[in-house]
Amino acid sequence: MTSARRSLLTLHCALLAILMTVFTAHAGKMSTMWGGKEVYMVRKADNFIILYDRSASMADMYAQTVMTELAAERKILLEKNATLPDMNWQAGIYSFTPGTGVENITTYYPMQAYDKKSFSRTIMKMPREPKGATLLQQGLWALPNILNKLTGKTVIFLFTDGQYTPVDKIPSPSVIASRLNAQFDLCFVVINTGAQKKELKEITAISKVNSCSYMVPFEKLLGNPEWMTYALFEIQEAKPAGSSEVVIGYEWENILFDFDKYNVKPEYFDILDKVAAFLKEHPAARIILAGHTDSIGTREYNMNLSHQRAASVRAYLVQKGEVSADRITLSGFGFDDPVATNDTSEGRALNRRVQGIISGVE
């Protein structure tokens, strides 16, 4: 071996040793930081589809705001896109209005590898004028044209107020959804933009076609798009087997809450201040906040409470720690993921928590 080659090999080994030392030290620091440990964010779905309503009925004003329902719909999608971690989904944005014919879908972002920036640009460029009949039946009827080309599980985020212009040639929206469920591996997340009693029955049926489908009222989403996150990924403490898409994160000490409360207690201000300081030092880092409850109360009530707990931790980090909200992804799991028994008061106290997970640290 020549002197030059020996020198090059020595340099290569030295660099490798330095990198391994840095990596080991960094992982050790993260895994023990503030009582934390390594956890895994696991993709629950392989694909997601935004099925968008821009029909004339979306011209109604949203709640007590100056926004139309269509403008609120766009804002929700932009908020969700900003906080969604990239886990190699295939994604698309489509609308069932306007159009004609038995099969009708307007394509804005055809199914492709999810890219945060291009997804946001597409949402910003979408039509801002509510227009046309609500062709919900036709849009659902045309979905197999998209689903047939996909593999794995697909989540369909369906924005609808339940209104539609009926077509006798094809079944009702809920019947179409049921048939799609029998044919494909999918979940419906129905975003209820303001259905009245008659329409509510129809879209409720869509939200119950299987166990992974659910419905979210429009008013819960604006400013809190975490209700859409639950369908896309979950958090596991054991390394998952198989080929599921996984992102490693580092969990810090759980933030605990009093029974039926979601305010952050002063005893946790110090740890949250440290987290905010860490994020300022590491601009590529992101946070997942996962809210949980004990088992007392209904599933629906606890799901809402778990979201409120995660949101209160986010509010502290944003307002006190000056962390950008775009770097924080929220999700609520209700009482589905206990860390202790719910049979004792001590166990229930441990389950009333928010997990804070840091990922993307370079």
| Sequence-separated (6 or more) residues with CB below 8 Å from residue 93 | 49, 50, 52, 107, 108, 109, 119, 122, 123, 126
pLDDT at residue 20 in the model: 35
Spatial separation of the C-alpha atoms in residues 13 and 20, rounded to whole Å: 10
Among candidate residues 126, 127, 129, 130, the one with its CA nearest the CA of residue 118 = 126
Beta bridge partners of residue 354, listed in sequence order: 255, 291
Q: Does the CA dihedral 61-107-202-189 come out positive or negative? A: negative
The CATH architecture annotation of domain 29-42+233-359 reads 2-Layer Sandwich (3.30)
Among candidate residues 186, 215, 185, the one with its CA nearest the CA of residue 202 = 215
Among candidate residues 235, 261, 260, 263, the one with its CA nearest the CA of residue 249 = 235
Among candidate residues 170, 113, 118, the one with its CA nearest the CA of residue 144 = 170
Six token digits for residue 236: 């596991």
pLDDT at residue 102 in the model: 67
State pTM to two decimals. 0.75
Residues 297-306 have pLDDT tens digits of 998 899 889 9
- 8 Å CB contact between 194 and 218: yes
Beta bridge partners of residue 289, listed in sequence order: 330, 356
pLDDT at residue 223 in the model: 65
Query: 3-class DSSP state for residue 147?
Result: helix
- 8 Å CB contact between 330 and 229: yes
Q: Which residues of the chain register pLDDT less than 50?
A: 4-32
| CATH assignment, 45-231 | 3.40.50.410
pLDDT at residue 13 in the model: 40
| Residue ranges covered by each domain of the chain | 29-42+233-359, 45-231
